[in-house]
Amino acid sequence: MPIRQITIVGTGLIGGSFALALRKRRFAGRIVGCDRQSALKRAKMCGVVDNGFCEPADAVRGSQLVVLATPVLAIVDLIGRLGPALPATTLLTDVGSTKAAVAKQALNVFGKNARHRFLAGHPMAGKEHSGVDYADADLFQNAVWFLTPLPGQTLHEGLFAEFVGWIDQIGARVAMLPPEDHDRLCAWISHLPQMISTALAAALVEEFGEEAPLLPAGGRALREMTRISASPYSMWRDIAISNRKNIGDALLKVEQRLGHIRENLATRQLAEEFELAHGLKKSPGKKE
């Protein structure tokens, strides 16, 4: 059965952008939203959804694809609430930033049928601002969309193949890896940069005050390093909780590296750190 109706639970930045991207690529079906009443009103005004419901059970009725676009712990809860009631012909997927807890919940809820009912995903796209007002039809252009298939899961037929086809049509590039590997990788390439940006911005405020003209004086480097410090805690709380060990390990290794730099500001070993760091720009896929 082709996808004629999609329900997006969570019509914020990612959920709203996915809907706008589908419309831009001429998805002909209906898009139903699920969110708070005030958020649904904004989503309708922005052309994100055709209709909306506050209750997930009402919103998913008649949809062939249900996308959970809420914070991670809410996704885990929604799988438990929605999963048992969804028809076997409905594909449930998510866009959560961590995957191990999500995959575990899907296996708990769907059991041996999980590989036919649920597909875990995570688009590596976003902004420092949240909410449907910042939704962008081109948000996923050239972004990696991680998929973490369950054991024995095939993505080459039925709703799975059609959904993956839409990911490709909206401009994203699919990459697949196990949930545990995803969480360790994202701790380094996504979650750690956020924590470093947050720590730097908080330290600057503590050192110089909120009104200090730091960004203009600091130039592009400071702006880039603190841009994502404006990201909402409400989203990052769930990421930190659900990926605590991986993030903690990454932070510890960077702390040790910073300590080494601090102790060698006047030695040749500082130059060695710079030389080692320059190797990142020389890795495959990087332009000189």
Q: Percentage of residues in the chain with pLDDT exceeding 90?
A: 85
The tens digit of pLDDT for each residue in 4-44 reads: 999 999 999 999 999 999 999 999 999 999 999 999 999 99
How far, CA to CA in Å, does 245 sit from each of 140, 186, 251, 272?
28, 12, 10, 29
As to burial, measured by CB atoms within 10 angstroms (0-12 exposed, 13-18 middle, 19+ buried), residue 254 is middle
User: Residue 176: CB partners within 8 Å, gap ≥ 6?
Assistant: 146, 147, 148, 149
How far, CA to CA in Å, does 222 sit from each of 70, 125, 225?
30, 21, 5
Q: How much is the pLDDT for 282?
A: 65
Tell me which residue of 112, 70, 119, 111 sits closest to 92, measured CA to CA. 119
Residues in the chain: 288
What value does the mean pLDDT take over residues 180-206? Answer: 97
Q: Is the pLDDT of residue 264 over 90?
A: yes
The tens digit of pLDDT for each residue in 153-179 reads: 989 989 999 999 999 999 999 999 999
Tokens found for residue 57: 């059970």
Q: The pTM is what?
A: 0.91
Instruction: Set out the domains of the chain in order of their start, with CATH numbers.
Output: 5-177 (3.40.50.720), 182-278 (1.10.3660.10)
Q: How far apart are CA 180 and CA 259, in angstroms?
A: 29
Tell me which residue of 95, 88, 140, 81 sits closest to 114, measured CA to CA. 88
User: Residue 237: CB partners within 8 Å, gap ≥ 6?
Assistant: 71
Q: What are phi and psi of 269, to 5 degrees?
A: -65, -25
284: confidence class by pLDDT, cuts 50, 70, 90: low
Tokens found for residue 10: 């969570």
Q: How much is the pLDDT for 286?
A: 47
> How much is the mean pLDDT over the chain?
93
288: confidence class by pLDDT, cuts 50, 70, 90: very low
Q: How much is the pLDDT for 283?
A: 56
Tell me which residue of 200, 207, 175 sits closest to 285, measured CA to CA. 175
The tens digit of pLDDT for each residue in 235-253 reads: 899 999 999 999 999 999 9
Q: What are phi and psi of 227, to 5 degrees?
A: -55, -50
Residue 87 CA, distance from chain mean position: 26
Comparing 82-96, 113-127, 216-230, which segment has the lowest mean pLDDT? 216-230
